[in-house]
Amino acid sequence: MRFAVAVVALLLAACGQSAVPSSPDTSSVSATGSASAATIEPAVFTGTWSFDRSCASGDGMTLNADSSASYDEWGEGHWVLDVPSRLVITLAKSEPGVGPTGQHVMVTIDVTPPVNDDLNGTRSFDDGTPSGPINARRCPQS
C-alpha cells in the first residue's frame, strides 16, 4: 500500500512540474498582437483630412473634437469612433448652392493602425457609392 501511494505521489509531482513553465513564454507575443489589443483614441482623428493628399481641394473631410463633421463639399453631420478602429460618419447631404436634400449617408472607415498624419483603411457608403481603400493625409491647420 505504501508503494502505491509513493508511485501516485511521484506521478502527480512529475505532472505538476511539466505543466508549469519556469518562466513566462513571451515568444508568441508579436507587434501585430500588441497593436490589435490597443485602442485608438478618438482625438487622433480630429482635424482636416485630404483624400487626394493635396489639401487643396474639397476632396476630404473635417472631424472636429465636438464630434461634428463635414465631408467633401456635400455633407454635414457627426462622427463617432466605433472601437477599436472604425470611424462612422453620419451626414446630411447638401447640393452646392441649393442646400440640404433631405438625404442621409453613413460613411464607414475601417482604419488600419497606426494613425498619425496618414489615415489608411477601407471606406464604404450605405447609399451604394463604391467602396474602396483610403489613404488620406492630415492637412496642416491654418
17 DSSP 8-state letter: H
Residue 69 pLDDT more than 90? yes
Residue 111 lies in a domain: yes
Residue 45 lies in a domain: yes
The domain spanning residue 125 has which CATH number?
2.40.128
Residue 84 pLDDT more than 90? no
Question: Residue 40: its pLDDT value, please?
Answer: 81
Residue 2 lies in a domain: no
Residue 32 lies in a domain: no
Q: What percent of the chain has pLDDT over 70?
A: 72
Q: Regarding beta strands 60-63 and 132-138, do their DSSP bridges make them parallel or antiparallel, or are they unpaired?
A: unpaired
- Each residue of 103-142: pLDDT tens digit? 999 999 999 999 999 999 999 999 999 999 999 999 998 6
Task: Count CB neighbours of 18 within 10 A.
Answer: 7
Residue 29 lies in a domain: no
**53 φ/ψ sector (left φ>0, alpha ψ -120 to 50, else beta):** left
Supply the range of the domain harboring residue 80. Answer: 39-138
Distance CA 92, CA 97 (A): 15
Which grid cell sits at 128?
451604394
- Each residue of 51-61: pLDDT tens digit? 999 999 889 99
Q: How many structural domains compose the chain? A: 1
Residue 1 lies in a domain: no
Residue 17 lies in a domain: no
Residue 83 lies in a domain: yes
